[in-house]
Amino acid sequence: MFDQFAAMYQRYKVNSYSLRITLHGSQGGAVTSNYVAASYPAVDPTALATYQAAASQQYAKTVSGGFQISNAIGLGNPPTKMFFKFNHASVVGTRPDAYDNGALVTSDPTALQYAVQPIFLQANRAEACSFMLEIDMWQNVTFSQKKNTVDA
């Protein structure tokens, strides 16, 4: 219902969010059968370049899994999941305010004033692999600065 609220209010801010990431290791390379993943909340959208760096971030979660197919052989490994639940202010580092870590309903918040969730994926061999990611996110959002609206 964001679009309906955007028609009635000028600004919004995210109070909290929950995130579920399901990783399907679809296909490994010729000799690749396993992978690791690390995800963490941040304000910088540039993902870290190594598993160790990503896994050592505050609130980071890690999983390991196997590919469903490797070298044209069905391995049948199930997907792995990561769950996150955050108070937006604890990630951003400021008290929630529609001006500090919110935005006009017509734009994104100011850079480095909103949470992002980078993810790092790495297979056990340096080969091209395929992943499918299912990402479900729920946000608690407050809208402010009411616009004058008229019933049609």
More confident residue, 70 or 49: 49
Residue 128 has pLDDT above 70, yes or no: yes
3 state SS of 51? helix
To the question of pTM greater than 0.85 for the whole model, the response is no
Q: Band of the pLDDT at 142, cuts 50, 70, 90?
A: confident
Residue 42 has pLDDT above 80, yes or no: yes
Distance (Å) of CA 79 to CA 30, 39, 42, 63, 111: 20, 16, 25, 10, 33
DSSP-derived secondary structure for 67-131 = -SEETTEE--PPPEEEEEEEEHHHHH-S---TTTSEEETTSPPPTTSS-B--EEEEESSSS--EE
- pLDDT single digits (tens) 92-114: 876 666 565 567 888 877 777 78
